[in-house]
């Protein structure tokens, strides 16, 4: 998932993550100089490197144990980017399997409807002394840097943040990204794959407060570690992991919800 205004076509993007892209093909799809484009993309979180005459995503050569991942979650006051905004964002940096840095902030907001407050517990009053959206996202961009962006159902968080950057006059995100939900579907057997259900199933976060950003980030961190522990393939680098999360066969789901079976057993005792 790259920004809609990223100049390379899907075939070229695929080759950057696999067998490499020749210089001629790369230059044919960009309007500016190659050096300028590479620097701009790097500033947007995407590092492209040259190896043996071909260009690749740097993550093609990055072993998992050396990679820096950033697990992200946002809460918003609605799902439409043209009408709604981020009201809370949290993230943790992961390296060598450990949390190395944390980022968390509420965002000043003038309108949060009752439904959103009921889900998140966040009110307009809670955000009155919070930084503005622009301040928070400037700081978040510095925090994220070029780390691999991870979220549960990553398309929503990644797209919402990237489009918000553009609304604020910033360049969109280009970081390589990974969906923890898709990875879980290929590594863990579960009746459902929503974050709260997986937390209940695998006891990922004993202090979970779902639909608060940092709590969901910590739950996703537990899920990500568990998924890596349960992979039955030899994954050599970040691009291998991204490909696995998208193309490996999904685990077969149970026909019945085990939690409902427990409830039914308790009722019949």
Which domains are seen in the chain, by residue range?
10-61 (no CATH), 64-247 (3.30.420.10)
What does the DSSP 8-state code read for residue 191?
A: S
In this prediction, residues 174-184 reach a mean pLDDT of 98
Map tokens 């907001």 to a residue. Answer: 109
In this prediction, residues 28-47 reach a mean pLDDT of 96
- Report d(CA 162, CA 171) in Å as an integer: 8
pLDDT computed for residue 232 by the predictor: 80
Has this prediction a pTM greater than 0.85? yes
pLDDT computed for residue 268 by the predictor: 43
Q: Could you tell me the two tokens for 18?
A: 């696999």
pLDDT computed for residue 269 by the predictor: 44
> For residue range 111-122, what is the model confidence (pLDDT) as tens digits?
999 999 999 999
Map tokens 């991204």 to a residue. Answer: 242
Share of the chain above pLDDT 90, in %: 90
Nearest one of 130, 113, 147 to 42, comparing CA atoms? 147
The count of residues in the chain is 269
pLDDT computed for residue 261 by the predictor: 61
The gap from C-alpha 200 to its chain's centroid, in whole angstroms, comes to 21
In this prediction, residues 143-148 reach a mean pLDDT of 98
- pLDDT confidence band for 263 (50 / 70 / 90): very low
pLDDT computed for residue 262 by the predictor: 52
Distances (CA, A) of 204 to 162, 210, 222, 260: 28, 12, 5, 20
In this prediction, residues 42-59 reach a mean pLDDT of 97
- pLDDT confidence band for 209 (50 / 70 / 90): confident
Residue 70, beta-bridge partner list: 93, 149
């Amino acid at each position: 998932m790259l920004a809609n205004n990223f100049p390379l076509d899907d075939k070229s993007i695929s080759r950057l993550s696999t067998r490499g892209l020749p210089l001629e093909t790369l230059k044919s799809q960009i309007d500016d100089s190659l050096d300028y484009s590479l620097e701009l993309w790097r500033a947007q979180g995407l590092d492209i490197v040259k190896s043996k005459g071909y260009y690749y995503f740097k993550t093609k050569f990055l072993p998992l144990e050396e990679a820096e991942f950033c697990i992200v979650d946002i809460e918003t006051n609605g799902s439409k980017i043209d009408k709604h905004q981020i009201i809370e964002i949290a993230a943790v940096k992961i390296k060598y399997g450990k949390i190395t840095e944390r980022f968390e902030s509420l965002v000043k907001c003038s309108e949060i409807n009752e439904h959103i407050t009921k889900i998140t517990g966040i009110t307009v009053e809670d955000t009155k002394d919070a930084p503005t959206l622009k301040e928070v996202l400037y700081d978040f961009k510095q925090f994220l840097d070029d780390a691999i962006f991870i979220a549960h159902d990553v398309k929503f968080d990644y797209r919402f943040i990237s489009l918000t950057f553009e609304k604020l006059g910033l360049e969109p995100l280009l970081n390589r990204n990974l969906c923890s939900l898709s990875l879980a579907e290929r590594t863990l057997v579960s009746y459902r794959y929503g974050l709260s259900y997986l937390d209940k199933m695998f006891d990922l976060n004993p202090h979970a407060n779902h639909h608060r950003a940092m709590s969901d980030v910590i739950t996703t961190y537990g899920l990500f570690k568990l998924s890596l522990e349960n992979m039955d393939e030899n994954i050599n680098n970040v691009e291998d992991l991204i490909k696995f999360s998208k193309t490996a066969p999904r685990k077969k789901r149970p026909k019945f919800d085990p939690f409902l079976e427990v409830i039914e057993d308790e009722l019949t005792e």
